[in-house]
Structure 1
């Protein structure tokens, strides 16, 4: 639009200023009315006229314009110090979390938003673009379920290092704080940071300046597990596990891409996020006869051997449960359970069961029924199953 004359306030003649929307360190966003198309849009105006800053600003617009995805705000027009884009109306991710007092409802909405973000990031990564600035202020949620990932100002082409450290203190991934090359796992860390924020109401790292982080290596320390939000129930164990895996210090130990992160979120939503997932190698003793019983288990994958008094009596596989009596009567374990193969289980405690039932999950009601039936089965029935007189 080289032929467009800019008005004194920095806007082309076709645009009518409708007021300030937001102000940041590098730019200002204003609401405007496009007289030609008769629609409401937004304009982002650079706060600097330095050549280096303007080049970076222009690159943000060009990178964002290449990402044609429903969860990424489209760019309409580009000038020397400004670009116009879709006007996003709604609340930030952080505002959404704070506004909902019911933890179950809030987490349900959070998972929907995170799954949409995973789709947007997977698309961007396919185009070799890394966002690098995931934080509550950069996620917008519309009144009809729209989700937008905004502010691609420090986005980086995958595999390329930059000569400066950029990011938001407290939300920046360790490798990013050290000025190292970023990849999809850097954005996975950001997804984990958003989930972490929902679980405990704070960012993963205490706020330091970028220079302090680079100088002291403070981001080289592991993130502490979320402890919950004051006035709300403790965070669901499975969501804590997912967040902490995404926030691993070593990128190789994280989810390797947003799709893998999304897969675990979907499993948690379907199978119960109050039920922690544990993995046991073949040969591991999961429970031992005579030990105190305080939880039950649902086998998600693999097979186990059930033995009593040193002798095998049964084999259980995926979808089957053991230890249900602990949900009703506690007491001691009546059998030893050993992993025959690598086994993944869901841990069912009474507290988790009650929380899952309140969430409306089908699994809680199912396990309650199983526990009630199991409580009626005597040790004589177990002996009969083993072929004993």
Structure 2
């Protein structure tokens, strides 16, 4: 009955945004703005402590709904039951240590914790607290209990905290929380279907140096790989991300490794892939590198002639991993950035690569100037080794990331 109420009472997805009493409460204003501007009907339910950081008028102005932390207001509407029953998603950001403890133990002493007890929709917690509090055994047990029950608890980011302290405990960026929320709404459930999986993802583009100043590179920004990492974390995976020349903030809850050139990336991938259940090669790896490196900057000649550049081929990392499978039962996902040619479409060239690379799934993008690279939107066709194809329509890279993980989960379920 509650599920029917959620699906019929509003044309817009209903989101309850719970706000805990931490200094990071001000960041929830940006999360609220993103949710509201993307078409969600958002009701803010702060704790009494949260209202000491950000007042009710701010939440009401941004959400368009009255705001209360008490169960004793508008009693005739039974808000402590109705909000949870009608919600399509509950997001708690920031989730303090105290709030996580109360949620884990089923306490219901204010409107937010009552809402959490009555919610039968996906629930997403974004913790924020000092490092010692996050690492305390009590907090770790509370997080584990919530995750066992199906709630999604993001790991906090690492960075500057209140005062001079720094470490794990920083609230993930509003954009990360927003994308995790959208992923839960798309899937329609909170089940962490990647829980227990160790995932390796590559992102960005390699650069092959010519001299101390110049390099051969490509247009890849790393945005798709980072979207894949954030989605995998939200779905319960243990994620290692190898970033090649990426200028993006590190995703929360991810082990970060760095690489510059194709050879450096190959070394990092081969070392990390031995422990990975799933390898997703979304980085744009240079096919060639200069045969010779100039120790000093190459100067222009007086006669306007240009130096000849001799290239050698880089190893094909995806093909190596696809055929060798460095861990039993490993799933390998590749990306094929194609432009097509005079005789073949980008998709036709992608189909050839699927078998040649020996991968389980291949994501085919048609790329070019103002296409895919460096842009927040994308479209693709996902091929698998069984011959199935799925076209993913134009949309945000986070949507493609969710669909890739859907396909990975389905592929692994085949055994």
**What TM-score results when the alignment is normalised by the length of structure 2?**
0.28
**Which structure has the larger Rg over C-alpha atoms?**
1
